[in-house]
Amino acid sequence: MRTSVLVAVSAGTVLTGLLAYAAYFDHKRQTDPEFRKSLKRNNRRVAKAVKEEAEAHGAQQREEIKKAVQRAKEEGFPVDLEEKESYFMTQVAKGEGLCAEGSEQIEAAIAFYKALKVYPQPKDLISIYDKTVPKEVLEILAEMVAMDPTLKLGSFTGESAGASADNVE
């Protein structure tokens, strides 16, 4: 019985100490302007460190995406219609499988990118991806598309309107 009393007294002492420290900290926070300033400085410092870490991670991810796009271009893409079709189906299946696992987002995006490169109407495929592919992978895919100027997505530059205007004259 003496052990349980000793444990209870020790636990009570520790709890009382923690409550006293909390009360002291709250009193200090409310009354000492220097203490409040130092807390704000520390909070700003931590927020700045978190922001810098996020920016570094973003830069690292962009570099990984750039390397992945370069590797895909170096591997090349099929030119025969039947090869393109099987390549497309393989890459879409690979991308969907990687999305289902959720582990390799860049690899999933590169698979969808490769499928996009061989698809005859990439703009239509992007609208399908928009509905089916997870947002994180879709954002990576958008960066890949932005890095590839050779990918023809069709633009509304008015070229067809100019051509029809020429035909009218």
Q: Whole domain around residue 148: which residue ranges?
A: 52-152
Q: Is residue 25 part of a domain?
A: no
In a domain, 121, yes or no: yes
Mean pLDDT computed over every residue of the chain: 83
Q: What is the predicted pLDDT for the residue at 89? A: 92
Q: What is the mean pLDDT of residues 141-150?
A: 84
Q: How confident is the model at residue 101 (pLDDT cuts 50, 70, 90)?
A: confident
**pLDDT one-digit tens code per residue, 131-143:** 888 898 889 888 8
Minimum mean pLDDT range among 17-31, 86-100, 107-121, 144-158: 144-158
CA–CA separation, 57 vs 42, rounded Å? 23
Counting the structural domains of the chain, the total is 1
pLDDT at 156: 30
Residue 57 lies in a domain: yes
Span of 86-90, 102-106, 152-156 with lowest mean pLDDT:
152-156
> Is 36 part of a structural domain of the chain?
no
Answer yes or no: is 82 within a domain: yes
Domain membership flag for residue 42: no
Band of residue 154 on the pLDDT scale cut at 50, 70, 90: low
Q: What is the pTM of this model?
A: 0.61
Taking only the tens place, the pLDDT of each residue in 41-99 is 999 999 999 999 999 988 888 888 888 888 888 888 888 888 889 999 999 999 888 88
Spell out the SS3 assignment of the chain.
Answer: CHHHHHHHHHHHHHHHHHHHHHHHHHHHHHHCHHHHHHHHHHHHHHHHHHHHHHHHHHHHHHHHHHHHHHHHHHHCCCCCHHHHHHHHHHHHHHHHHHHHHCCCHHHHHHHHHHHHHHCCCHHHHHHHHHHHCCHHHHHHHHHHHHHCCCCCCCCCCCHHHHHHHHHHC
pLDDT of residue 164: 40
What pLDDT score was predicted for residue 45? 95
Tell me, yes or no, whether 158 lies in a domain: no
Within-domain flag for 125: yes
Which residue type sits at 156? F
